[in-house]
Amino acid sequence: MGELVGAGTLMAVDFGTVRIGVAACDAGRVLAYPLAVVPAGPDALDRLVELAEDVGAVTVIVGYPVQLDGRPGPAAAAVAGQAAALAARLTQPVRLVDERLTTAAAHRRLRETGRTARTARAIVDAQAAVGILETVLDALRQGNLPGRTLEME
């Protein structure tokens, strides 16, 4: 299963046009937690590299927007480009993973805690990254390796 086997912190990134949600897990890969919300913009990749270093990430997971039928969604090309740019700056591997319904699930979880759309806006992106990471952790527990690693030239 390549770079995700064994222990080590994983970091998940949910690229958005305004905000980028970031989550991480403990080295034993038991608990995923929201790490940060980074404003999208020219300094975003620098901040993501810094966060990966701060948490000691061994792999960075990037949510890849696919449609319900599994085909790449409208934002897929932009996210793939951002993921490639991030991978070029990291020594860790970057892996694209299906993020279907993670933002919707994050909104639902936040509503269940009593947050309104307005109060959840600042953290929903990080919660979506948690959902992406939880999907990966669940798959790893079942012996599966989701997504694909970006090949850098």
Tokens standing for residue 93: 């591997």
Task: Give the pLDDT confidence score for residue 102 in this predicted structure.
Answer: 56
Residue 22, judged by CB atoms within 10 A of its CB (0-12, 13-18, 19+), counts as buried
Task: Give the pLDDT confidence score for residue 19 in this predicted structure.
Answer: 93
Task: Give the pLDDT confidence score for residue 153 in this predicted structure.
Answer: 44
CATH number of 2-144: 3.30.420.140
Task: Give the pLDDT confidence score for residue 72 in this predicted structure.
Answer: 80
Could you report the per-residue pLDDT of 7-36, keeping only the tens digit for each? 799 999 999 999 999 999 999 999 999 999
Cβ atoms 91, 101 nearer than 8 A? no
Rounded-to-integer distance, Cα 69 and Cα 99, Å: 13
Look at strands 94-98 and 57-64 and give their pairing: parallel
Tokens standing for residue 92: 């860790």
**Residues of the chain where predicted confidence (pLDDT) is lower than 50:** 1-2, 153
Domain extents in the chain: 2-144
Task: Give the pLDDT confidence score for residue 8 in this predicted structure.
Answer: 93
Task: Give the pLDDT confidence score for residue 129 in this predicted structure.
Answer: 92
